[in-house]
Amino acid sequence: MAEAGHEQEQGHPTAGTYLRVAAILVVLTVLEVGVFYVPAFHPVLVPTLLVLSACKFTLVVLFYMHLKMDSRFFAFLFGAPLTLAALVMVALLFLFFGTLTLRGAAGAGGAGGAGG
């Protein structure tokens, strides 16, 4: 019985692991700030920041929220609603972007026809 408890303790990250993860998070944050201020990245600013933020989010969830060491069931309980929410947000973005595009096209066509 004591051996099973000892095996679980070995799977838990050490303080050094947490410090390495914290260092990686600091580097990713510095990269985010740097990307924002470098004019060459402005065309791809939003996708780059989203990828860097997703990396930081994943590290925080896996290590500091302990989902890496917990049961897969807890990871499912966290990941499934998160995935559903992300899909709904993307669907709403496409829906509203499409609506705005159609309104703009209808407004431009109507104004051109009325003026001519």
Report the C-alpha gap between 78 and 69 in whole angstroms: 14
**Are 48 and 91 found together in one domain?**
no
Same domain, 47 and 11: yes
Largest Cα span, the chain: 88
Report pLDDT digits (tens) over 73-85: 888 888 888 889 8
Higher-pLDDT residue of 98, 29: 29
Q: What angle do CA 62, 66, 68 make, to 5 degrees?
A: 55
Q: What integer pLDDT is reported at residue 82 of this predicted model?
A: 87
The mean pLDDT value of the chain amounts to 80
Neighbours of 63 (CB within 10 A): 19
**pLDDT-derived band at 2, boundaries 50, 70, 90:** very low
Query: Total domain count for the chain?
Result: 2
Question: Which pLDDT tens digit goes with each residue over 84-109?
Answer: 988 998 888 888 877 666 666 555 55
Full residue range of the structural domain in which residue 17 is found: 1-70
Of 18-27, 46-55, 61-70, the least confident: 61-70
Phi, psi of 67 (to 5 degrees): -70, -20
pTM: 0.63
Q: Percentage of the chain surpassing pLDDT 70?
A: 75
Could you tell me if 100 and 54 lie in one domain? no
Q: 75 and 44 in one domain?
A: no
